[in-house]
Amino acid sequence: MKIFVTDPEGKEHALEALEGWRVMEIIKDYGLPLKAECGGACCCATCHVYVHEDWVDKLYEMRDDEEDMLDEAIDVKDNSRLSCQILMSEELDGLKVTIALGTEI
Amino acid sequence: MSEKEQNNFKTDVIIIGAGPVGLFAVFELGLLDMKAHLIDILDRPGGQCAELYPEKPIYDIPGFPVITGQELTDNLMAQIEPFSPTFHLNQMATELKKLDNGNWEIKTDDDVTIEAPVVVIAAGGGSFMPKKPNIPNLEEYEGKSVFYAVRRMEQFEGKNILIAGGGDSALDWTLNLQPKASKMALMHRRDDFRAAPDSVSKMRTLVAENKMELHIANITELHGADGQLEAVTVTPKGEEPYKIECDTLLAFYGLTMKLGPIADFGLNLHENLIPVDTEKFETSTQGIFSIGDINTYPGKLKLILSGFHESALMSQEAFRIVYPDKKLRFQYTTSSTNLQEKLGVNEKAA
Each residue's pLDDT tens digit, B8-19: 999 999 999 999
pLDDT at B30 over 70: yes
Side chain identity at residue B103, one-letter code: N
Q: From CA B341, how far away is CA B350, in angstroms rounded?
A: 8
Alpha-carbon distance values, B151 to A18, B1, B173, B250 (Å): 47, 14, 11, 12
Let me know: does B252 contact B133? Beta carbons within 8 Å. Answer: no
Let me know: does A67 contact A19? Beta carbons within 8 Å. Answer: no
Let me know: does B146 contact B230? Beta carbons within 8 Å. Answer: no
Our CA-based measurement puts residue B257 at a distance from the nearest CA of chain A, in whole angstroms, of 8
Beta carbons of A38 and B53 less than 8 Å apart: yes
Backbone angles phi, psi at B224, to 5 degrees: 165, -170
pLDDT at A101 over 90: no
Contact residues on chain A for B56, CB-CB shorter than 8 A? 41, 43
Question: What are the tens digits of pLDDT across the range B286-331?
Answer: 999 999 999 999 999 999 999 999 999 999 999 999 999 999 989 9
Q: Which of B88, B67, B75, B66 is closest to B16 using CA atoms?
A: B88
Question: What are the tens digits of pLDDT across the range A55-73?
Answer: 999 999 999 999 999 999 9
Our CA-based measurement puts residue B342 at a distance from the nearest CA of chain A, in whole angstroms, of 35
Contacts 24+ apart (CB under 8 A), B80-85: B80/B23, B80/B24, B80/B26, B80/B27, B80/B30, B82/B30, B82/B342, B82/B343, B82/B344, B83/B26, B83/B27, B83/B29, B83/B30, B83/B35, B83/B36, B83/B342, B85/B26, B85/B30, B85/B35, B85/B36, B85/B37, B85/B38
Per-residue pLDDT, B51: 87
Least confident window among B138-142, B220-224, B256-260: B256-260
- B8-128+256-343 against B132-253: fold identical: yes
pLDDT at B2 over 60: no
Contact residues on chain B for A45, CB-CB shorter than 8 A? 254
Let me know: does A26 contact A8? Beta carbons within 8 Å. Answer: no
Return residues 220-249 of B near A (CB < 8 Å): 237
The architecture CATH gives domain A2-99: Roll (3.10)
Let me know: does B316 contact B147? Beta carbons within 8 Å. Answer: no
Q: From CA B73, how far away is CA B50, in angstroms rounded?
A: 7
Whether the CB of B54 is below 8 Å from some CB of chain A: the reply is no
Res. B191 pLDDT band, cuts 50 70 90: very high
Q: Pick one of 3.40.190.10, 3.30.1330.30, 3.30.2320.80, 3.50.50.60 as the CATH number of B132-253.
A: 3.50.50.60
H-helix or E-strand containing B341? Answer: helix B337-343
Contacts 24+ apart (CB under 8 A), B265-271: B265/B96, B265/B121, B266/B96, B267/B121, B270/B296, B271/B296
- Is the CATH number 3.50.50.60 carried by domain B8-128+256-343? yes
Q: From CA B240, how far away is CA B217, in angstroms rounded?
A: 10
ipTM: 0.86
Per-residue pLDDT, B4: 59
Domain map of chain B by residue range? 8-128+256-343, 132-253
Let me know: does B118 contact B323? Beta carbons within 8 Å. Answer: no
Of A43, A72, A105, the CB nearest to B131: A72
Q: Which residues contact A84 (CB under 8 A, 6 or more apart)?
A: A22, A23, A24, A25, A36, A38, A40, A41, A42, A47
Q: Which residues contact B39 (CB under 8 A, 6 or more apart)?
A: B14, B15, B16, B17, B18, B88, B91, B92, B93, B106, B108, B112, B114
Quickly count: other Cβ atoms within 10 Å of residue A91's Cβ.
Answer: 12
Return residues 261-300 of B near A (CB < 8 Å): 272
H-helix or E-strand containing B37? Answer: strand B36-39
Contact residues on chain A for B188, CB-CB shorter than 8 A? 71
Our CA-based measurement puts residue B163 at a distance from the nearest CA of chain A, in whole angstroms, of 14
